[in-house]
Structure 1
Amino acid sequence: MSPIQSLAVCVRLFSIWLLWYGLTHVSSTYFTASGADHETLLAPFIVGAILVAAICVLLWLFPTFLAKKILPKQSDEENTKPVFEDWFSVGCSLLGVWALSKAIPALGSYLIINYLGQKMYPDSFSVSPDWHLHVAFNVLQLLFGAWLFLGARGLKKILVWVRET
């Protein structure tokens, strides 16, 4: 199996996970909000569910296109390069997907809960003291995951340099 095929399989697995995770969290957020306030609007939650479903459909239908965009281009001359570089790129991309899959839902949850809390309980809503720390951590995790996902050539250079010294 080529690195592109491996990454395409992982993109499809991620789309299945995202669909399950996204829809369960959208529905649980709606039921939590509607339990606290009977005037909760359904439209934002429907838009959220449709957005999650649309992203999952795109990931499911075009995993090879995405894998080709993420991994470096290969020519006939480059087929002789070591397998390490191919699998390292795939591994970094997968680690980036994993970091993004943890950071994006956490950030979305923190921001949505903060927004809904301030809208529904403007006088009594307060966030925990470590809320800002959690948001900052997830922003850093998002940046690190995006760096790994979109190209970790710099990390590869560091590892090759360490191996050679």
Structure 2
Amino acid sequence: MTPQQLVGIAIRMFSITMVLFSIPYLSGMPHVLRSNGMDDKALVSLMIGVTYLAVALVSWFFPMVISHKLVPKTTFENRFNTRPDEVATVGIAMLGLWKVIDAAPDLVSYLFQTSLRAGSGSIFEALGAEGKADVFFILIELIIALAFLFKAHLIAKFITRPFENHAT
């Protein structure tokens, strides 16, 4: 198995997770919101669910395209009899995917719930100081996760530099 194939499998797992995250936004939540006279919020809930499904479909049908963008190309014969930076690149990319799975739905859910409480007012004002801090830290987590995804090879080179200098 090549490093890209390993990340491709992780991307497929990411896809399944996105489908699972879409379920409440497409099923129970819109019904509850409509029954409380919040038709506009029910539409937002449906749009969130559809967005999760769209991400799931793209990542399910194009895992290797995404994988080749995240992990630099190696020879196909390379089957994890590989350099430390390649293994580290795969690990960092997978860590980035996991953190996106962890933080992005939290941010979406948090902002959606805040929009429900805000009514016709500003979401930003409805957050309050604690809410703004929560959103700030979730955004920091997402930025780090995206850096892990899109700069995995650079980070891996940095992490494995000591190992390259002490190779036997």
Q: Given the superposition, is the C-alpha separation of residues 136 and 32 from structure 1 closer, same or farther in structure 2, using an over 3 Å criterion?
A: farther
> How many residues in Structure 1 have an aligned counterpart in Structure 2?
160
State which drifts further: 39-48 or 51-60.
39-48
Instruction: Return the letter of the residue paired with 2:97.
Output: V
Give the structure-2-normalised TM-score: 0.79
Among the aligned pairs, what percent are the same residue?
A: 20
TM-score, normalised to structure 1, is 0.80
- Match for residue 16 of structure 2? 16
> Which amino acid letter does the alignment assign opposite residue 89 of structure 2?
S
Show the 5 A alignment for 1:11-160: 11-34=11-34, 37-41=36-40, 42-74=42-74, 82-119=82-119, 127=127, 130-160=130-160
SS of aligned partner of 2:39: coil
Cα distance between partner residues in 1 of 2:157 and 2:128: 41
Q: Secondary structure of the equivalent of 1:130?
A: helix
Gaps of 5+ in 1: none
Tell me how far 1:153 sits from its aligned partner: 3.7
Q: Distance in 2 between matches of 1:87 and 1:27?
A: 40
Over the aligned positions, Cα root-mean-square deviation in angstroms equals 2.8
Structure 2's unaligned 5+ residue stretches are none
Most deviating of 85-94 and 113-122: 113-122
